[in-house]
Structure 1
Amino acid sequence: MGRQMIKAAASNLLSQSLASVSTPQQGDGVNSDEFEEHGMELLKAESSLNYLCNLSPHRYEAVYAKNLPECIAGEGFIDKYTDHNDTVTVIDPKCAYAVKAPTKHPIYENFRVMAFKALLTAAKTDEQLSALGELMYQCHYSYNDCGIGSDGTDRLVNLVQEMQHRRSSNGQSSSLFGAKITGGGSGGSVCVIGRNCIRSSEEILEIQRRYKAATGYLPLIFEGSSPGAGKFGYLRLRRRVSSADGNMKQEA
């Protein structure tokens, strides 16, 4: 819904810009053809936006954020925008839908991922780990703002924060720096970033014990990275035509 609203707003702004540039001089006598051309190119791209992650955070905040509603009734959205052009969901006219948080999340999340990737190439320092951890925390809470988090993953992330801040308040350097919900989403797994040392492993074990003491459930700990297809191989799907009925089938 948010993407559709942004596209509609961009189309409206583009129409206004096209009308304004038909006059070569602005009221202050300054020719702004070059500025308007640059602005119109952005608006053209935004009026046909395929993915929210293609919109930069600064552009979102500068042009669109202030006009997006926190939520909207399905009936109101349909009346104004007709459809959201999503092939896997159907708008219920009687339901209310969150708009602003789910729109903002992929825009900022794409930036966070790019920043995270760039930081991985930086010098291995506590400042690097702190920045990586902060991006993970931001991701977690942005995801929660969309209404698709879980109590269990929130508790684990909070325990990581408590461990991190407890160390800092005692004048000790922290071994854990950040955490976020991960896996398939909506609960299940939390990814934690920390220093590769015995202390971080001990702190993870303490978090595991504290979680069980509070909930009765013992979280499983996955450590390191899987060798993936390099060790386990892969399956290749090939299409074939059955000579009996002519139907296309897939086989591994």
Structure 2
Amino acid sequence: MVAFKMGMKEQDGGAAVPSSKKMVFAYYVTGHGFGHATRVAEVVSHLILAGHDVHVVTAAPEFVFTNEVHSPRLFFRKVVLECGAVQSDALTVDPLATLAKYTEETVKPRASILAKEAEWLKSINADLVISDVVSTACRVATDIGIPSVCVANFSWDIIYLDYVLAAGPDSRSIVWQIAEDYSRCNFLIRLPGYCPMPAFRNVIDVPLVVRRLYKSKKEVREELRIADNVKLVILNFGGQPSELKLKEEFLPSGWLCLVCGASDTQDLPVNFKKLPKNVYTPDIIAASDCMIGKLGYGSVSEALAYKCPFVFVHRENFNEEPFLRKMLENYQGGIEMSRNDLLSGHWKPYLERAMSLKPCYEESINGGEVAAQILQEIALGKTHAWDKRSEAKGSCDAAVPEYQIRRAIGQEEISIPEWYSKAGNQFGC
């Protein structure tokens, strides 16, 4: 028997339509942050409700998935196939360290990785490989004749593009290889707030993938013993440890801050409250008056879906951010706080301004259900319906140079380099 927590909103529908054939899905998930794992958990829940087995391959903590899904059809395999971005703290990415680690963990052992994953996929009789957004998974699937699909709002070739520009031309082969691997997948299921992803040939757009709520605002406050007249802010950096030196004077009178990622030894002032490491953050976000954190898909999608004003702090060297920021600001959902003001505790004006925001995201948030249905149909070979909705893109696409990547809003724009747009020659396209 499959057991799930209850609380799915009726307007968000149920699972993918049950199939008469039970299928096996292998879902590769980057261990970078929590945003990838949380949205994967939502898609996985619908696949399992539709009667399928799902094997999750990731370095992310299991509790991120088991918070939503309790089922004998959900399997975990702890494997690191790529490092994502190396961060020294929640807001600092080290480009050169990232490329060095990726080279050691993914480039050098590539042959053994491909062989091992191929053997494992055959052993579980996988019907479809899904990736968010582990590029080598797409290559392995092609090698053994299994279809593959990526579900994402960004791809690592675009994130690493800046790092390669900083490191020099000798590192270009990293981006080329990642893009070539992505180009082998059958479809990209593209999420709102997406970056340019020219490596993918066929694209299907879906609504926001957001974890559902299980508790009301009243229930959350009662469990945490927070009075109705207390203003609540959640400090949430998406799986990165919160190591700020928090002080009581950071908050205006009448405010309480709920802290995600605090260490067990970290002492907090009386107006700050430590949350458990496995806390189900959507319920907390929906019960809060605003949130402070960095821009990542999980935080932005849940803030928009549940109309929680977002006070965000810029993270350097991560090309996903400008596109999420644009979406957040389009729906009047966020304001930027400087890093200096975050660290020095100059929070009051931002909290006051956040209270004046009126987030207005009214689009559908059932992307998990929609994505699961598409994945099921692709696994069954029913791709014709999606071919008509897909949009051809690829590393050989002449339109690639039209894309612009912004480092920060209102600042320098960077075109995708010519060497990347011509990478199709390297792929034999």
Greater gyration radius: 1
Shorter-normalised TM range: under 0.3
More strand by share: 2
TM-score (norm 1): 0.27
Structure number with higher relative contact order (C-alpha < 8 Å, ≥ 6 residues apart)? 2
TM-score normalized by structure 2? 0.18
Structure with higher helix content: 1
